[in-house]
Amino acid sequence: MKQYRTILPFIKQHKAQYIFGVLALIFVDITHLLVPQVLRVFADLAQKGELNVERIMFCALAVIVLGLCVAIGRYGWRMNIFGTARKLEYWLRAKLFNKYLSLDDTFFNYHRTGDLMAHVTNDVLMVRNSMGGGIIMIIDSIFMTIFTGIMMIYTVGLKTAMIALTALPLLTIFVFTVLKPMQLRSRRVQDSFSDMTNEVQENISSIHNIKAFGIENNRSRSFSRVNQDYQRKNIEMMRLSALFDPIVSLISGIAFVIFIIYGIYRLLDGSMSLGDFVAVVDYLRLMIWPLIAIAMVVNSFQRGIASMTRINEILSAESKILETAAPSKMDLNNVKIEFKDVSFRYDKKSPWVLKNISFVLENQKSIAILGRTGSGKSTIINLLLRRYDVSSGQILLNDVDIRDMALTDLYKAIALAEQDSFLFSRSIAGNIAFSSSDEDQDYDLNKVRSSAEFSQIAQDIEEMPEGYSTWVGERGVTLSGGQKQRISIARAHYKNTKVLVLDDSLSAVDTNTEKSILDHLKKYQQSLILVSQRVSTVQTADQILVLEDGEITQRGDHISLSQDTEGFYARLYHRQLLESELAEEGRHK
């Protein structure tokens, strides 16, 4: 049960509800234990011929009062135990989600999305069940078993009670025999559920590619294999858990038969009254539920332990990007960025992605990074945003190492628009104003329109039937690639930071729109970092860095670099210029 230590803070915070719920449950159990005593008195009176209307009414009223007490107590434990378990579900799910938000990119590189979703859904559900119904069943099974035995001893004596309970040790042996196999099979079921969730998530996310390649049957067979594996492991789990009810019924049946035979013998020789016999029979009936509850407790808690183990693995994960305990105070009115001999690789076994990168971006100046795919351009941006930490060297913001800054200050200074523009399932206005609030309607619409005009998307939005209230669908599925990129740029502009980073985020727009956006950039007092493979995007920058194989091979402005005919920049410039001229000629034919 050490896996449940994670939720101890929640248990301590809500201990009053749990205590009250347990007391209400014990109250209900005590009430149940009193019913056989009423039946005992009634049977003894009937056997002696001493029943009359008054005594019959008294027994009937006693049963009604006890039933009313059961109803009130049951409402109390349901509200306090089941209700608190629902709060635990919310608490644990929020804890997991916030943990996801705190982890760095490296964690998500090695954990599948479907797996992480399964932790927040199915695993949390299993823990909730164990801390709701599981607690009820464990209290019931322990309390009812112990006190039913005590009441039987009180009613018929120790010897007769022991004979009635002869089969109970067999159940204890059986339960402890299946504990470990149950936990192992529960873990396998949860792991298989994660695999299935991941399979569904990946296929739905790539549904357009699946249809484009015509591989629906292939993906259906792949899902069937995962689904069958989940079914098989569930059946293996059920084979074990299905043994509980029959074996419990068998054990309780054995105890019942033993006592019936012994009780009839005692009745015939007059050493036991009819009332005692009826009471013990009723107590044996009451013990069937605690015996079944023991089986259910084992099942519930083994599933909960397996799920809690998986959740703890996530909660114990540590981000490699850590904030310093005492971050430097930053003045972000002016921002200067400097890379000093920065080198980077993902781990000690991996090749170097960047080697000795050095440059300075002064306040309100622009710098462009140009290079082939895989040259390390986006890695520079990832390091600047501390998605990863440098392997050697320093990145300074206003002469302070970004590792000594609060991450919130770093993100206040920099806004990013990436090539792969992720849009959320909300309105266009909500996507543009995403940084303002977690509420879709809490934004400045005038500021949204200004940002849309800046990114040259305003006219497209106004032509849509619902304008800025248009719902874009998951990942912006209703928009073109160029529209998504321009909304992403508008979102970065809306954030109103001192540094704007465009990481190849103009690749899907035409050259005229690109030129218009770049012209707009000059009107704003922002530092600008442009990352691209197109010379037309970077040529207006104050400083251009040419990146090849993770190293800066050229630096300068457009004029100086284009005159170096042997350099990569000039060759790329003339080739793209020729391609543009040929494309223009093709349009005029």
CATH number at residue 283: 1.20.1560.10
- pLDDT for 208 equals 64
Q: What is the mean pLDDT of residues 139-152?
A: 76
pLDDT higher than 80, residue 167? no
Asked if residue 360 and residue 505 are part of one domain, the reply reads yes
How sure is the predictor about 431, in pLDDT bands with cuts at 50, 70 and 90? Answer: confident
pLDDT higher than 80, residue 298? no
Let me know if 11 is exposed, middle or buried by CB neighbors in 10 A (0-12, 13-18, 19+): middle
pLDDT higher than 80, residue 520? no
**Angle, vertex CA 495, rays to CA 491 and CA 498, nearest 5:** 125
Among 210, 205, 229, 208, which Cα is nearest to 220's?
210
Asked if residue 574 and residue 524 are part of one domain, the reply reads yes
Residue 332 lies in a domain: no
Name the residue with higher pLDDT: 316 or 436.
316
pLDDT in tens, 475-516: 667 788 788 888 888 888 888 888 999 888 877 677 777 778
Q: Phi, psi at residue 549, to the nearest 5°?
A: 55, 40
Let me know if 165 is exposed, middle or buried by CB neighbors in 10 A (0-12, 13-18, 19+): buried
Q: Report how far apart the first and last C-alpha atoms of the chain are (Å, whole number).
A: 77
Amino acid at 132: G
d(CA 407, CA 529) in angstroms, rounded, equals 19
Across the beta sheet with 543-548, the strand order is 414-418, 499-503, 527-532, 366-371, 543-548, 551-556
Q: Which of 265, 283, 315 is the last residue of a domain?
A: 315
d(CA 298, CA 293) in angstroms, rounded, equals 8
Residue 96 lies in a domain: yes
- pLDDT for 72 equals 92
Asked if residue 232 and residue 354 are part of one domain, the reply reads no
Asked if residue 358 and residue 294 are part of one domain, the reply reads no
- pLDDT for 56 equals 84
Asked if residue 276 and residue 402 are part of one domain, the reply reads no
- Max avg pLDDT among 205-219, 413-427, 552-566: 552-566
Name the residue with higher pLDDT: 378 or 256.
378
Strand ranges inside 164-311, DSSP E:
none
CB of 397 within 8 A of CB of 335?
A: yes
Q: Domain range spanning residue 434? A: 337-588
Asked if residue 168 and residue 263 are part of one domain, the reply reads yes
How sure is the predictor about 87, in pLDDT bands with cuts at 50, 70 and 90? Answer: very high
d(CA 313, CA 258) in angstroms, rounded, equals 49
3-state secondary structure of 455: coil
Name the residue with higher pLDDT: 587 or 325.
325
**Angle, vertex CA 560, rays to CA 554 and CA 562, nearest 5:** 80
CB of 138 within 8 A of CB of 325?
A: no
Asked if residue 266 and residue 400 are part of one domain, the reply reads no
Name the residue with higher pLDDT: 63 or 248.
63
pLDDT higher than 90, residue 360? yes
- pLDDT for 186 equals 75
Residue 325 lies in a domain: no
Question: What angle, 0 to 180 degrees and rounded to 10, lies between the N-to-C axes of helices 445-454 and 481-494?
Answer: 120
- pLDDT for 456 equals 85
Q: What is the mean pLDDT of residues 441-455?
A: 82
* Residue 79: DSSP 8-state: I
Q: What is the mean pLDDT of residues 316-335?
A: 84
Residue 323 lies in a domain: no
- pLDDT for 588 equals 56
Asked if residue 357 and residue 301 are part of one domain, the reply reads no
- pLDDT for 337 equals 93
Among 407, 408, 413, 455, which Cα is nearest to 431's?
455
- pLDDT for 503 equals 86
Asked if residue 562 and residue 521 are part of one domain, the reply reads yes
Asked if residue 284 and residue 244 are part of one domain, the reply reads yes
Name the helix (H) or strand (E) containing 160: helix 158-164
Residue 321 lies in a domain: no
- pLDDT for 384 equals 93
* Residue 317: DSSP 8-state: -
> Residue 452's domain is classified under what CATH number?
3.40.50.300
Among 268, 262, 41, which Cα is nearest to 167's?
262
- pLDDT for 339 equals 94
Who's near 281: CB < 8 A, 6+ residues apart?
Answer: 256, 259, 260, 263
CB of 158 within 8 A of CB of 166?
A: no
How sure is the predictor about 288, in pLDDT bands with cuts at 50, 70 and 90? Answer: low
pLDDT higher than 60, residue 440? no
Asked if residue 175 and residue 77 are part of one domain, the reply reads yes
Amino acid at 56: I
- pLDDT for 238 equals 80
Residue 179 lies in a domain: yes
Name the residue with higher pLDDT: 14 or 250.
14
Which range is least confidently modeled, 102-106, 239-243, 484-488? 239-243
Residue 326 lies in a domain: no
How sure is the predictor about 338, in pLDDT bands with cuts at 50, 70 and 90? Answer: very high
Across the beta sheet with 400-401, the strand order is 354-361, 337-344, 392-397, 400-401
d(CA 238, CA 299) in angstroms, rounded, equals 10
Residue 328 lies in a domain: no
Tokens encoding 238: 């059920």
pTM of the model: 0.74
Residue 306, Cα to own-chain centre: how many angstroms? 16
**How many domains, the chain?**
2
Among 255, 320, 328, 324, which Cα is nearest to 286's?
255
Q: What would the 3-class secondary structure string for 415-437 be?
A: EEEECCCCCCCCEHHHHHCCCCC
Asked if residue 288 and residue 197 are part of one domain, the reply reads yes
As beta bridge partners, residue 556 has 544
In this prediction, what percent of the chain has a pLDDT beyond 90? 15
Taking CA atoms, 408 is separated from 14, 321, 386, 400, 402, in Å, by 33, 13, 11, 15, 11
Tokens encoding 488: 């992403």
Q: What is the mean pLDDT of residues 301-311?
A: 82
pLDDT higher than 60, residue 372? yes
